[in-house]
Structure 1
Amino acid sequence: MQVTETLKDGLKRGYAITVTAAELDRKVTEKLTEAQPEVEMKGFRKGKVPMALLRRQFGERLMGEAMQEAIDGAMNRHFEESGERPALQPEVKMTNEDWKEGDDVEVALTYEALPEIPDVDLGSITLERLVVKADDAAVDEALAGLAENAQNFEPREDGAAAEDGDQVVMDFVGRIDGEAFEGGAAEDYPLVLGSDSFIPGFEPQLVGVKAGEEKDVTVNFPEEYGAENLAGKEAVFSCTIKEVKRPVPAGIDDDLAKKFGVEDLETLKGQIRERLESEYGNATRALMKRALLDALDEKVSFELPPSLVEAEANQIAHQRWHDENPEVHDHDHDKIEPGAEHRELAERRVRLGLLLAELGTKAEIEVTDAEMGQAVMAQARQYPGQERQFFEFVQKNPQMQQQIRAPLFEDKVVDYVFELTEVSDREISKDDLQKKIEEMDGDDES
């Protein structure tokens, strides 16, 4: 077998691999010899089938296997001996397409190599860890929000008109072309105006109604409505208003705490404080991570595989186009060509991604099965009732597994690097933290 370099331009590599006919024949013979003791064929005892007959019967199929094994072996030896790693799946192409048995096999191997990553003096990086305390005002604000969400409703005075946010208790019957339809009627139904829980256009027509009134509400079911017999059709709902109630926030007391499953108000406050400080901690970590990535980006410079940069630039351009065109949910649109800003951001992401991967590899950082299981479970909760299907999908989809594993690995590497940098703490207010988060989101460089 011969391996000859044909291209070495930056990170681009090309090799011509020649597998001789003699090598292939030897591999086929080895495979036939290994299989011969177990082969049974009419007219011959088990293990006594002549080699010539085995070659006629199985030789063509085994020749294909021998070719693939020889080429794979040549590639693996090349990467072991050279120490190079391909940025993407190498391209392997047979160059003598008119090959016939007895000929050598000639193959072209091309790929982009991953660059050598320079060492970084992590100890020279200084970072600031922002600290935000959950003060009493923040806890009280959160309590007020809980009380509002746990609001009760009490009857308005006689003759009062319903306002947006009020609860209207009513009986109703829906009809299409004068005929009542299944599922279109209810009694004593409590509807909060402005909750958007009914068909679009229904609730605004009830603003201003009074207890004891009857009102017809005319709406059109959406074209994409789940029930095909109703989709796109006009319906008239005859509503009898029984009560009009105004919202009353729940009291901030032990009863409120019990509604949220804790024994008293002080315990609820403690839980809120812990939750807020956890949220603040996640936000300050994101800021610290951005500062670390900025520092690393300034400290390292190396050649990047063009294919990785182009793939990342295409993904960025595509995602931003969808962000700007949220009404388009599929990918049936013209190709989005990346611009200079997309490529600049792609270069940063690829550079930092390769650097973090190198740091993680050298530090022998791994994502454990337990960590993967927790991450998959967290994502599965986003699909209530379909958790099992999601788990099975992930198990059968290596690409999906990598999408879940990659951010876990990156966060573990970032935490490892944090420990090697010089970090100082500074306490700031919640409002200042919010401003910094908004500035970071506005930069859109991560």
Structure 2
Amino acid sequence: MQVTETLNEGLKRGYEITMTAAELDAKVDEKLEAARPEVQMKGFRKGKVPKALLKKQFGKSVLGEAMQEGIDDALKSHFDETGDRPAQQPDVKMTNDEWKEGDDVVVSVSYETLPEIPDVDFAALTVEKMTAEVEDEAVQEALENLAATAQNFEKRRKGSKAKDGDQVTIDFVGKVDGEAFEGGSAEDYPLVLGSGSFIPGFEEQLVGVKEGEEKAVEVTFPEQYQAANLAGKAAVFDVTVKEVAEPKPAEINDELATKYGAEDLEALKGQLRERLAAEYANAARTVTKRNLLDALDEAVSFDLPPSMVEAEANQIAHQLWHEENPDVQGHDHEKIEPTDEHNKLAERRVRLGLLLAEVGQKQEITVSDQEMQQAVFRQAQQYPGQERAFFEFVQKNQQALQQIRAPLFEDKVVDYILELAKIEEKQVSKDDLQKAIEAMDEG
């Protein structure tokens, strides 16, 4: 097998591999010989068919397989000898399109090799770590939020106009073309204005109504409404307002605490303090990780495979475009061209991704089966009632498994580096920590 280099430019590599007709013929003979013990033909005992007859009968059928195996073996030997690690699947093409049996097989191979990753002295890195204490004011604010969530409604003085956030108790009958439709009527229905629980435009028209008032609410059902017989149709709801009530936060006391499963108010405060401490720690961890990645990005530089950067930039541009155009669900749209900003971000992500992968490999950092199971379980909880379907989907989808494994692996590598780096702790307020998180989102 002859391998000739045709391109060596940066990380780009090109080679021409020639498999002579004799080498291909020997490969075919090898495969036929390996299969002969199991071959049985009329007039011959099993395993005793002459080689020449085997080749005449089955030679052409194993020719393609032998050719593919020969090229694969040559590529494997090439990578073993050169130490090249392709950034993506090599592009392999036959160059002699009019090949016929008896000719040499000539293929061109092109790929981008992964770069040599320089060693980084992690002990020389300085990383800022924010820490924030849970203050009494934050616990009180959390209590007030719980009280607002557990709010009650008190009847307003008769004659008061309903405001956004009020609860109106109503009777209503919905009609399309003057005819009442099934499921469009109710009595003594408590509706919180602004909750968005009714079709668009309904609740807004009840702002300002009074107890005892009758009102015709005109709306149009959405085109994608779940009841096909109503989708896109205009309707009128005859509404009678029976009561207008204003929201009143629940009192912050032991009774509120028991509603949330705590023994008393002090126990609830303790639970809230622990929850806030965990939230602060997670936020601080996110900022610390970003600070470390910034430090690594400045500390290391090496050539990047253009194809990886291009793929990452396209993905970033596509994702951001969909975030800016949430109404477009599919991918049937014009091609999204990456900007300079997208390309710059892609270079950073590829550089740091290759660096962390190299560190993880050298340090033999792995994600255990138990860690994967826990991560899958946490994600499955986001789909209540469909956990089993999610588990089955993940188990059958290697890409989904990789998407779960990748951040776990990255976090373990980050933890390893943080143990070696110099950490400078900085005491900050909750607001400062929040601003740091917001700055990351803007960046």
Give me the TM-score of the superposition, normalised by structure 1. 0.94
Task: For residues 177-231 of structure 1, give each alpha carbon's deviation from its aligned partner in whole angstroms, at most 9, with x where no partner exists.
Answer: 1222222122222111110110000001112223333322111001111221111
**Structure-2 separation of matches of 1:392 and 1:402:** 15
| Structure 2: runs of 5+ lacking an equivalent | none
Q: Which amino acid in the other structure matches residue 263 of structure 1?
A: E
Q: Alignment partner of 1:71: what SS?
A: helix
- State the match for 1:424 in structure 2: 424
**Structure-2 separation of matches of 1:337 and 1:161:** 53
- Pairing 1:47-446 to 2, within 5 Å after superposition: 47-443=47-443
Q: Which amino acid in the other structure matches residue 313 of structure 1?
A: A
**1:363, distance to aligned residue in structure 2 (A):** 0.9
| Structure 1: runs of 5+ lacking an equivalent | none
**1:376, distance to aligned residue in structure 2 (A):** 2.4
Q: Alignment partner of 1:129: what SS?
A: strand
**1:137, distance to aligned residue in structure 2 (A):** 0.4
- State the match for 2:13 in structure 1: 13
Inter-CA distance 101–140: structure 2 relative to 1 (3 Å threshold): same
**Structure-1 separation of matches of 2:5 and 2:442:** 47
Larger deviation, residues 248-257 vs 412-421: 248-257
Task: For residues 289-332 of structure 1, give each alpha carbon's deviation from its aligned partner in whole angstroms, at most 9, with x where no partner exists.
Answer: 12111111111111111111111222222233333333433322
**1:7, distance to aligned residue in structure 2 (A):** 1.1
Q: Alignment partner of 1:212: what SS?
A: coil
Task: For residues 239-258 of structure 1, give each alpha carbon's deviation from its aligned partner in whole angstroms, at most 9, with x where no partner exists.
Answer: 23222222111111122122
Q: Which amino acid in the other structure matches residue 28 of structure 2?
A: V
Larger deviation, residues 181-190 vs 84-93: 181-190
**Structure-1 separation of matches of 2:224 and 2:289:** 43
**1:422, distance to aligned residue in structure 2 (A):** 0.9
Q: Which amino acid in the other structure matches residue 191 of structure 1?
A: L
**Structure-2 separation of matches of 1:307 and 1:146:** 51
Q: Alignment partner of 2:364: what SS?
A: coil
**Structure-2 separation of matches of 1:342 and 1:237:** 50
Q: Alignment partner of 1:13: what SS?
A: strand
Inter-CA distance 53–384: structure 2 relative to 1 (3 Å threshold): farther
Q: Alignment partner of 1:242: what SS?
A: strand
Task: For residues 73-115 of structure 1, give each alpha carbon's deviation from its aligned partner in whole angstroms, at most 9, with x where no partner exists.
Answer: 1111211221111111111111112122222211111100111
Task: For residues 48-74 of structure 1, give each alpha carbon's deviation from its aligned partner in whole angstroms, at most 9, with x where no partner exists.
Answer: 444444334433332221111111111
**Structure-2 separation of matches of 1:299 and 1:424:** 18
Q: Alignment partner of 1:47: what SS?
A: coil
**Structure-2 separation of matches of 1:187 and 1:59:** 83
**Structure-2 separation of matches of 1:367 and 1:433:** 30
Tell me the number of residue pairs that the alignment of Structure 1 and Structure 2 aligns: 443
Identity %: 69
Task: For residues 401-441 of structure 1, give each alpha carbon's deviation from its aligned partner in whole angstroms, at most 9, with x where no partner exists.
Answer: 22222222111111110000011222111111122222222
In angstroms, what is the RMSD of aligned CA positions?
A: 1.9
Q: Which amino acid in the other structure matches residue 97 of structure 1?
A: D
Q: Alignment partner of 1:171: what SS?
A: strand
Q: Which amino acid in the other structure matches residue 409 of structure 1?
A: F
Q: Which amino acid in the other structure matches residue 199 of structure 1?
A: I
Q: Alignment partner of 2:217: what SS?
A: strand
Larger deviation, residues 42-51 vs 311-320: 42-51
**Structure-2 separation of matches of 1:281 and 1:376:** 23
Q: Alignment partner of 2:278: what SS?
A: helix
Q: Alignment partner of 1:308: what SS?
A: helix
Q: Which amino acid in the other structure matches residue 280 of structure 2?
A: Y
Task: For residues 354-385 of structure 1, give each alpha carbon's deviation from its aligned partner in whole angstroms, at most 9, with x where no partner exists.
Answer: 11111111111112222222222333333333
Q: Alignment partner of 2:425: what SS?
A: strand
Q: Alignment partner of 1:120: what SS?
A: coil
Inter-CA distance 396–26: structure 2 relative to 1 (3 Å threshold): same
Larger deviation, residues 361-370 vs 38-47: 38-47
Q: Alignment partner of 2:378: what SS?
A: helix
Q: Alignment partner of 2:191: what SS?
A: strand
**1:146, distance to aligned residue in structure 2 (A):** 0.8
Give me the TM-score of the superposition, normalised by structure 2. 0.95
Q: Alignment partner of 1:227: what SS?
A: coil
